[in-house]
Amino acid sequence: MGFGQGLSGLNAAAQELDVIGNNIANSGTVGFKSSSAAFADVYANSKVGLGTQVASINQRFTVGTISATGNQFDMAIDGAKGMFRVQDASGNILYTRNGQFYANKDNYIVNAQGQRLTGYGVNGTDLVPIMVPVGNIAPRATDGLTTKTNLDANAAVIHPASVPQTLGTIVLDDGVNPVASYSYTINDAGDVVWSGAAPADGAYTSADGSTVNIAAATPLSADDLPAQGAGETAFVAAIVGHPFDPNDAQSFTHSLPISVYDSLGNAHQLTQYFVKRESATPGESAWQVYYRMDGAPIASHPDTAPAELRFTSSGLLLSGGTQTLSVTNPGGANSPADDLGINLSYAGSTQFGGDFSPNFTQTGYPTGEYAGMSIAEDGAIVANYTNGETQAMGYIALADFNNLQGLQPVGGNAWVETGASGGPVVGRPGSNGLATLQGQSVEESNVDMSQELVNMIIAQRTYQANAQTIKTQDQVLQTLITMR
């Protein structure tokens, strides 16, 4: 037994205690990876070993607990594969698992050491420092508008002009069923329009003895009716017409105002006026739609040529489902903007016996100020704006290595690439086997405090045992010296 073995054991135990102490000291360090000492024996052409040595200090790259912080710039790597790629002031590239970041005075996203987080642009593949997406988002002019609504089938027909209307009743006898009385009106074309129940197709005898042939496919003409006084009564009443006028509520059935936007992001009110008309085609219903932009008529759809919607007897839209509205310089002389071309769709609209129930969407929006940012799982940097819009501004880059143990720690929760680690495999989170990100969170240290305390007790006992071997060797030498 020599002093060398005991001294090597003391040295090894002391280094292990250093490693354990470093782990415990960094138990609260975000992104810290604990280490452990690996030992090897020492031989020199002899059967008896010369002690021990520290072969390596290995780091455990297991994933720590992820904790929410609420900080918009914090992010945690949710998995074992991946490290943040940061760049220092000299252009050196470092790698870290510490996701505590903030925006510096130049709007770069940096860590506590001032190292800039790197990533990809929206479309490019070059790795560049990431900046906070400050500034306004550009407005978008409205180019698409959908209006899906139900138009009340029970709404009264609005006539565009005042016209006389013949109202009357007629008594008909088919020779089989009881004699019945039917009410009717005469429309603008001079045809009979039955009010309420209509007589079935067939030949009838009227009260004056004349024959009246009823066929739904061929509307009955007013000239085919018997003379008044012989079972047929009639009188003339005026229909009050209401030419379309947005200031006359009786000239339209429903109205729908919608905000649309020009190329400068200025809002304009587009109002649609739905007017139920008398249909010239039996079994169909007709509606006309008039348009106003900020109270002014639209050149592409003047009041003389409104849009027309036609519905089947089942209440389904038959025609007129698409319209194109064109507005020249909607901003006027004070705020000239590009011409507006809006593709308007009424697809899915119906005419049932129910209330007017509009639902609409439009594609435009005004400009908005930067309000904050968030990090998506795939590393997308999403900017949020005061107008409710969001915009992807880039992607965080993660790096992985074939041999993580080959990385060289340089302090500040960072490592650098070495020949032993191999080159980095860089990509977006969630791709190439890389982990995903969790925003407004950080990865805590992976130090297991209870395990470290147990390891410390073991290392302490090892140190004491090696000291005892030195003490024993000293006693043996003392005995030899005192021998005479």
Q: What is the pLDDT of residue 482?
A: 84
- What domains, with CATH codes, occur in the chain? 3-62+446-482 (no CATH), 66-137+371-443 (no CATH), 144-157+242-362 (2.60.98.20), 163-239 (no CATH)
Q: Given a cut of 70, is residue 283 above it in pLDDT? A: yes
- CA–CA separation, 302 and 286 (whole Å): 18
Burial of 304 (0-12, 13-18, 19+ CB in 10 A): exposed
- CA–CA separation, 196 and 287 (whole Å): 22
At 484, is the pLDDT very low, low, confident or very high (cuts 50, 70, 90)? low
Structure tokens at 404: 């993580």
pLDDT mean over 97-115: 94
> Could you tell me which of 122, 134, 129, 130 has the C-alpha nearest to residue 393?
122
- CA–CA separation, 361 and 345 (whole Å): 10
Question: Three-state SS for 404?
Answer: helix
Contact by Cβ (8 Å): 74, 396: no
pLDDT tens-place string over residues 178-190: 888 888 888 777 8
Mean pLDDT over each residue of the chain, to the nearest integer:
90
Structure tokens at 55: 């072969």
Structure tokens at 112: 């506590």
Q: Given a cut of 90, is residue 422 above it in pLDDT? A: yes
At 194, is the pLDDT very low, low, confident or very high (cuts 50, 70, 90)? confident
